[in-house]
Amino acid sequence: MTTLPFHLRNEHLFLETAGGLWLFDTGAPRSFGPTLTLAGEQFRLSSSYLGLTADTLSRFVGVECIGVLGADVLGRFDFVLDLREGKATTSTD
């Protein structure tokens, strides 16, 4: 089980890792951004998806972020999201 900071900013949800903020997007089929380690699993991701990069994404959502967590990564874990406490707990149990 891993607990990370979780934020609501500009009406979007973000998971915070040591590398920065990731847009938490259950509607996105694919994740993109730098290599991600989440709950002990490492994901080597593409730097863009359908022409969208972290820079353009940051401009669209108005929050500097390093990538998108989409269904391909999110679907590998169970999440408990607590916005009041500002944390997300993830596990594979």
Write down the pTM of the prediction: 0.94
> Which pLDDT does position 1 carry in this prediction?
85
Cα separation of 27 and 12, whole Å?
12
Cα separation of 45 and 80, whole Å?
24
Q: Domain segments of the chain: what residues?
A: 2-91
Are the CB atoms for 78 and 1 separated by under 8 Å?
A: no
- pLDDT, tens digit (0-9, with 9 covering 90-100), for 45-93: 999 999 999 999 999 999 999 999 999 999 999 999 999 999 999 998 8
Cα separation of 23 and 70, whole Å?
8
Cα separation of 90 and 70, whole Å?
15
